[in-house]
């Protein structure tokens, strides 16, 4: 840390905050071990694992409940989370999802990786990348709802607690991705 003698103005402070030199990511095994410890602590303290798509799901139900409350009360899948007086956001999984955004931001800020950019393969444009990201996100969460959990809630959490169904889902996720990797090679290579 270099010593700064003059008191910087607010703007330069923010500038400096966002213009830190980007640091390397952690070693994969170190990161994995720490992720495993976070997962364990979650189970140890609360009895629940980690999750991401559940938070998004409740956010959607929350918006729908504002826009069309009558509709929410007629769709069985939505009634469970937002029917009648229920507040869809009043659930622990929403806190985990908000936390994940906050935690990602803190880590990105500390390590100089908060940067407005688009990551893509060399053969496509930014706009193409955005289109495919949207399509991929749509498919992913559709599958995640169908499987009752995504990579975090099913594969990671259910994997560590040795749920048979979660292992089946985990292999299906990796299987599906490797199966179609060749088809979509142009997106990434």
Partner 1 sequence: MTTFPLPLNVIFLKVGVYAIYLIIGIAFGYVLESSGFNKSTILAKQFYFKDLTVFKVFFTAIVAGMLLIFGAAAFGLLDYNLIWVNPTYLWSGIVGGLVMGVGFIIGGFCPGTSLTALATLKVDGIFFVAGGLFGIFVFSETIDEAPHFFNGSYFGRLTLMDLFDLPTGVVALLVTLMALFMFWGGEKLEDIYGGKDSSKAPKGRYIGAGVAVLGAIGLIAIGQPTNADRWNWIADERQAQLDNREVQIVPEELLHTMHDSKLNLVMLDVREEKDYNLFHITDADHVLPEEIPGMINEFIALPANSLFVIMSNDETRATEVWKYMVAESVPNVYILEGGLNNWVDIYATPYENEYCAGEKESPADDEFKYLLTSALGDHCPAAYPHLEDHEHVEYEPKIKMELKRAPSAGGCG
Give the footprint of partner 1 on residues 110-139 (CB under 8 A).
111, 113-121, 126, 129-139
Q: Which is nearer to partner 1, 37 or 66 (CB)?
A: 37
Q: Which is nearer to partner 1, 13 or 77 (CB)?
A: 77
Structure tokens at 163: 């749920």
Q: How far is the CB of 94 from partner 1 (least distance, A)?
A: 8
Contact 154, 169 (CB under 8 A): yes
Q: Which is nearer to partner 1, 4 or 90 (CB)?
A: 90
Does residue 88 touch partner 1 according to CB under 8 A?
no
Structure tokens at 123: 């053969």
DSSP 154: I
Q: How far is the CB of 12 from partner 1 (least distance, A)?
A: 20
For 38, half-sphere exposure in the C-beta direction (CA atoms, 13 angstrom radius) is 14
Q: Which is nearer to partner 1, 86 or 160 (CB)?
A: 160
CA distance to 8, 23, 62, 100, 168, per residue, from 13 (Å): 6, 19, 37, 25, 49
Q: How far is the CB of 9 from partner 1 (least distance, A)?
A: 23
Q: How far is the CB of 25 from partner 1 (least distance, A)?
A: 4
Instruction: Tell which positions 148-177 bind partner 1, by CB under 8 A.
Output: 148-177
Number of residues that bind partner 1 (CB under 8 A): 125
Q: How far is the CB of 19 from partner 1 (least distance, A)?
A: 13
Structure tokens at 39: 């997962």
b (16+ CB within 10 A) / e for 42-77: beeeeeebbbbbbbbbbeebbebbeeeeeebeeeee
Instruction: Tell which positions 26-85 bind partner 1, by CB under 8 A.
Output: 26-29, 31-54, 56-57, 59-61, 64, 75-78
């Amino acid at each position: 840390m270099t010593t700064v003698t003059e008191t910087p103005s607010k703007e330069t402070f923010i500038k400096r905050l966002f213009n830190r030199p980007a640091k390397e990511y952690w070693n994969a095994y170190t990161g994995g071990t720490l992720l495993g410890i976070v997962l364990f602590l979650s189970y140890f303290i609360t009895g629940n694992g980690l999750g991401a798509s559940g938070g998004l799901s409740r956010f959607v139900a929350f918006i729908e409940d504002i826009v069309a409350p009558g509709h929410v009360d007629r769709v069985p899948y939505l009634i469970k989370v937002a029917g009648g007086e229920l507040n869809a956001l009043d659930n622990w999984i929403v806190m985990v999802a908000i936390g994940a955004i906050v935690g990602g931001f803190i880590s990105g800020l500390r390590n100089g990786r908060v940067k407005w950019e688009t990551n893509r393969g060399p053969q496509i444009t930014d706009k193409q990348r955005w289109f495919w990201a949207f399509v991929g996100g749509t498919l992913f969460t559709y599958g995640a709802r169908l499987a009752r959990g995504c990579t975090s809630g099913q594969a990671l959490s259910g994997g560590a607690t040795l749920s048979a169904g979660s292992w089946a889902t985990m292999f299906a996720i990796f299987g599906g991705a490797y199966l179609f990797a060749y088809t979509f090679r142009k997106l990434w290579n």
